[in-house]
Amino acid sequence: MKPRGKERRGRSRGATTERSGYSGRFSLVLVVLVALLLVVSARLVQIQIIEGPAYAAAAARQRTRDIVLSPERGFILDREGEVLAESVDARTIYAVPTAVVDKEATARALAGILGGSEDAYLEKLGRDSSFVYIARKVDISLAESVQALGIEGLGFIGDSRRVYPSNELACQVLGFVGVDDEGLSGLELYYDRLLAGTPGRMIAERDTRGRPIPGGVTMEEDAVDGKDLVLTIDKDIQYQAQVALAQAVETWGAKAGSVVVMDPTNGEILAMASVPQFNPNRFGEASEDAFRNRSIVDTYEPGSTIKSLTAAAVIDAEIFEPGSMFELPPTIEVGGRTIHESHWRTTVQWSLTQIVTNSSNVGAVKLGMALGEQGLYDYFSRFGLTEQTGVDFPGEVKGYLPSPDLWSPSSIATIPFGQGVSMTPLQLARALSAIANGGELVTPHFLKDVPEAPEIEPAWPKQRAISERTATAMRAVLTDVVNEGTGAAAAVPGYQVAGKTGTAQKARTDGQAGYDPGKYVASFSGFLPASDPRVLIIVTIDEPTNSIYGGTVAAPTFGTIAAFCVEHLKIPPGEPVTGTSQAQ
């Protein structure tokens, strides 16, 4: 019996050991499970809490497209409401490269419809991107032809593109816009903030092939269209100015030319033309030289056209009157420099009016010396020759009128007849406006109205330059220039024209002092009707070769444009103005 008791006690100890081993393994498994649970929990915390926003953003990027909604750019209209620049409907074509199955065939089809290089389209379709522009601002008919192909992975966005219906008309004035509808030059640049509007935004959900998910738009903010602008430009006068200028440049074998047509009473610019020209619908094909609005960004020595300002200054200063007489030798020496006339003559007795009428350099020297250096500088400053005109156009420059302390001994002789001083054609137009309108400098400008923003009231200030008495006297003097003097070719039948010719040497541009032999700027500046001026015109012809004189080269172009203006604007002839070329 005892042995069995021992056996039971032995089995009992074995069972206890077995249970102890099982309990240890369970604890180990439990520890492992808890550890794994902690690792998983930590990873979930990392993914969902710490890295969650990044993953959510990545997922959003994969299923959504953030698309800019372009506003419609405002129209640009002439003073009569004729469209000069407009925005027309277009389409922008894009692709989701991963969704395009046959990239080679797609590139071939796009090149066949849209033009361009097949390789360029293939490069875009091969990019590692979920969105790529294929072509922007595509004509609607072309975009519809592409859409009709039904190619998976291609998408279309409503857009607009800038169009200039009259092609070259007012090209330098209007300028042009880039592919993102931002103004790059001209008034498109200057008034970009008003014209551009405010872009909108759309965030849309799309499937893996780039197709919109119905009801999947998560956010849409409408674009605000730009505002229309009404300009002072008259489309018909602008056209005539461009045609007449282009013909003059060709006729006289000139390098370039410019025309300003302005209302001298208020500074409204009716036309502004430059040659060479370009088509803003295809501005990428033009040379940079054609982009230049020469009346605003180019300076030149005005030559004899400035004699009208010199004469006005001595009259306003009450030094001389139009009938004051002068003995004028054929040459005059000042500061070691001998001043000649453009054509040889003997000693004459001429009035101030005759000095201007016959464009006498010697006479202009005597007028300038009577004013003195400071007096001449002060009056030319009052005529705006030391400042910009304030025109609403980008890139305006101003000419050069040195202060008297920088003058050479001969400057008092050369500046009165237009050498050693430079200006833009628009600066000259502004200065001459003071003679035309009774003595006030106007601010030249292009903007007439912003119909959708009546709160915008641009200010175009005026400032007095000379007395009304002086202006009246000078209108009579300048009328004689056309009636009896060098400006006869500027005459307009039935109207009295007041004006001044100019033939100016061009300063050297190679860094050396002096003038470039054989290179001139021929010009004519004037206004009509002389008694009540409504139109002021500046014509400059750069480097004419068949003739050099302003009365021959530029004055006929003035006459052509002026004749059209008075007929088109229905301007009456006005009262006769009696000039005087004799002593009073």
Active site residue 304: yes
Distance CA 233, CA 169 (A): 11
Determine contact, residues 481/456, Cβ cutoff 8 Å: no
Give the SS3 label for residue 355.
helix
**223, HSE (Cβ side, Cα atoms, 13 Å):** 21
List b or e across 199-211, with b for residues whose CB sees 16 or more CB atoms inside 10 angstroms.
eeebebebeeebe
Among the options 258, 304, 433, 531, which is catalytic? 304
Q: What distance in Å separates the CA atoms of residue 104 and residue 99, rounded to the nearest whole number?
A: 13
Instruction: Identify whether the C-beta of residue 517 lies closer than 8 Å to the C-beta of residue 502.
Output: no
Residue 507: closest CA among 420, 384, 407: 420
Strands (E), 97-228: 132-138, 154-163, 200-206, 212-221
Output the CA angle 164-168-170, nearest 5 degrees: 85
From residue 516, alpha-carbon distances to 93, 339, 469, 510, 513 in Å are: 54, 18, 40, 9, 9
Q: How far apart are CA 388 and CA 378, in angstroms?
A: 16
Check if the beta carbon of residue 418 is closer than 8 Å to that of residue 302. Answer: yes
Pairing relation of β-strands 229-231 and 447-449?
antiparallel
The answer to whether 92 touches 156, Cβ cutoff 8 Å, is: yes
Closest to 578 (Cα-Cα) out of 353, 356, 360: 353
List, in sequence order, every beta strand (DSSP E) within 322-408: 325-328, 331-334, 337-340, 348-351
Contact 551, 489 (CB under 8 A): yes
> Within 13 Å of residue 503, how many CA atoms lie on the same side as its CB?
20
Q: Which of 299, 238, 297 is nearest to 273 (CA)?
A: 238
Nearest Cα residue to 483 out of 378, 580, 566: 580
- Tell me how far apart the alpha carbons of residues 186 and 164 are, in angstroms, rounded to a whole number: 13
For residue 310, give the nearest of 415, 410, 213 by alpha carbon.
415
First to last CA, the chain: 171
Asked if 205 and 63 touch (Cβ cutoff 8 Å), the reply is yes
331-334 vs 154-163, strand pairing mode? unpaired
Helix (H/G/I), strand (E/B), else coil: 135: strand
Taking residue 16's Cβ as centre, other Cβ atoms within 10 Å add up to: 9
SS3 164: coil
- Nearest one of 61, 99, 59 to 208, comparing CA atoms: 99
List residues with catalytic annotation: 304
